[in-house]
C-alpha cells in the first residue's frame, strides 16, 4: 500500500516523478549487476571444477603405474600449471607438471619411447606420465627420511643442489627440521601449498569412495 501511495504522490509532482524513475532505474541496474556477478562466480567455479576433474583418469593411471599417490600428483599439477596443459615456464618448462626437457627425456629413455620430443609434453597424458615418473624418482632419492615428500617437492622446485644445502643436521632425515632449513621462501611456500592441496584432494577422493 505504501508503495502505491508513493507512486501516486510522485506522479502528481513532475520533479519527484523524475527522481522516482531515476531511483527505480538504478535499483534495476544494481540488481542486474548483482545477478551478473553471481552468474560470473558460478561460471568461474564450474570451469575451475571441470579443469580440476578433467585429468583425474590420467592422474589415476599414472599413480597406479608408478606407485605415487594420486592426490600428490594432482596437487603438483595444481601448483605448477593450475591444470592448464598449454602452460609454459620461463625456463622452458612445459605442460601440466611443467617438465623441463632433461627430465622429460629421462622418462622417455627409461620407458623406451621412440622419437620423443619435448613438445610431446603438451599432451596431458604424456606430461602426467613423465612428471609422475620423475616425481617417483625424487621420492626414492629421499626414502631414508621420515617423510620423503617435502624433500622431493623441494627438489622438484629448486633442484638437487639446493636440497643438499638444506639437509644438514636433523634436516638430513627429519622432514619438519628440513622444512625449517629451506632457505628460499618461494620454495618453502611451494612445498607447503602442495602439501595442503594434497590433503584437500585426498579428502575428496576418500569421500567419493565412501
Q: Tell me how many degrees the CA angle 200-151-59 measures, rounded to the nearest 5.
A: 45
| CA quadruple 164, 167, 169, 173: dihedral sign | negative
- Other Cβ atoms within 10 Å of 6 Cβ, number: 12
Q: Which of 49, 80, 93, 199 is catalytic?
A: 80
Per the rule left: phi > 0, alpha: psi between -120 and 50, beta: everything else, 115 is left
Q: Are 114 and 43 in contact (CB under 8 A)?
A: no
Query: Which three cell numbers, joined as nine digits, stand for 169?
Result: 643436521
- Indicate the Cα dihedral angle 119, 122, 125, 131, nearest 10°: 70
Catalytic-residue membership of 49:
no
Q: Are 197 and 206 in contact (CB under 8 A)?
A: no
**Distance between CA atoms of residues 192 and 5, nearest Å:** 62
Residues identified as active-site: 80
Amino acid at each position: 500500500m505504501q508503495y502505491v501511495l508513493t507512486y501516486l504522490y510522485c506522479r502528481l509532482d513532475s520533479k519527484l516523478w523524475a527522481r522516482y524513475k531515476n531511483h527505480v532505474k538504478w535499483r534495476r541496474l544494481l540488481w542486474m549487476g548483482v545477478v551478473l556477478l553471481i552468474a560470473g562466480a558460478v561460471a568461474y567455479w564450474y570451469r575451475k571444477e571441470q579443469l580440476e576433474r578433467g585429468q583425474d583418469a590420467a592422474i589415476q593411471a599414472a599413480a597406479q603405474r608408478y606407485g605415487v599417490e594420486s592426490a600428490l600428483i594432482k596437487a603438483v599439477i595444481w601448483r605448477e600449471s593450475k591444470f592448464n596443459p598449454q602452460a609454459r615456464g620461463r625456463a622452458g618448462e612445459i605442460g601440466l607438471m611443467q617438465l623441463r626437457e632433461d627430465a622429460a627425456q629421462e622418462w622417455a629413455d627409461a620407458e623406451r619411447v621412440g622419437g620423443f620430443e619435448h613438445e610431446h609434453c603438451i599432451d596431458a597424458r604424456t606430461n602426467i606420465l613423465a612428471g609422475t615418473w620423475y616425481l617417483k624418482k625424487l621420492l626414492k632419492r629421499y626414502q631414508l627420511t621420515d617423510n620423503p615428500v617435502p624433500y622431493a617437492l623441494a627438489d622438484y622446485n629448486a633442484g638437487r643442489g639446493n636440497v643438499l644445502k638444506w639437509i644438514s643436521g636433523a634436516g638430513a632425515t627429519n622432514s619438519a627440521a628440513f622444512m625449517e632449513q629451506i632457505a628460499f621462501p618461494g620454495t618453502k611456500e611451494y612445498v607447503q601449498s602442495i602439501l595442503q592441496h594434497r590433503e584437500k584432494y585426498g579428502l575428496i577422493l576418500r569421500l567419493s569412495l565412501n
